[in-house]
Amino acid sequence: MLKLKSCCFCFSTRTGSIISAVLTLIGSLIHSGIIIFALTAWNRKDTKYFPPEITEGNIKSIMIAWGFQLFFAICVLISSIFLIIGIQRNNRRFFWPWMVSMVIGLTMAFCSSLVVLAMGHGTQIITYGISLIISVSFWIYCLLSVISYYQDLEQTF
């Protein structure tokens, strides 16, 4: 398994793991907020925030997808808190929820990107493809940083 010696060429893997946990914590809070805003806006019938493709006919499946995303964002939020606690206590067992949620999240990103790429066209595909490559690369690097610190703890204790 690939093991990083440092994070971002100057931080320890411990610091990189803390940064990864805080970034996923903030990201899941923002994601949850956006989903809650969208759900409440739809319940108020405030449709100015939605594209015209979202109609009464297809909202049920969209609500299910949003509910699943909200559930997953809350799981990531909790796993980020566990990771921070695990880093502070040097307890490797607390790393697992975050590592598993990151693998699931990366898999979901890959699957949803296939759908967008299959349904998209022109610049939408290029823009989405570039942003996907950048974000997935970043999160894989964060995951590698946490796994490296996890391995460091194994050798220490």
Q: How confident is the model at residue 69 (pLDDT cuts 50, 70, 90)?
A: confident
Q: Among residues of the chain, what percentage have pLDDT more than 70?
A: 83
Whether residue 25 has pLDDT greater than 80: yes
Kindly state whether residue 1 falls inside one of the protein's structural domains.
no
CB burial string 52-85: b at 16+ within 10 A, e below: eeeeeeeeeebeeebeebbebbebbbebbbbbbe
Whether residue 30 has pLDDT greater than 70: yes
pTM of the model: 0.81
Q: Which of 6-10, 61-65, 76-80, 95-99 has the lowest mean pLDDT?
A: 6-10
Q: How confident is the model at residue 1 (pLDDT cuts 50, 70, 90)?
A: low
Kindly state whether residue 5 falls inside one of the protein's structural domains.
no
Kindly state whether residue 120 falls inside one of the protein's structural domains.
yes
pLDDT, mean over the chain = 84
**Domains identified in the chain, total number:** 1
Q: What is the pLDDT of residues 95-138, one digit of tens each?
A: 999 999 999 988 888 887 777 777 766 676 777 778 888 888 88
Kindly state whether residue 33 falls inside one of the protein's structural domains.
yes
Kindly state whether residue 8 falls inside one of the protein's structural domains.
no
Greatest Cα pair distance, the chain, in angstroms, is 57
Kindly state whether residue 64 falls inside one of the protein's structural domains.
yes
Kindly state whether residue 3 falls inside one of the protein's structural domains.
no
Kindly state whether residue 54 falls inside one of the protein's structural domains.
yes
| Boundaries of domain holding 28 | 13-156
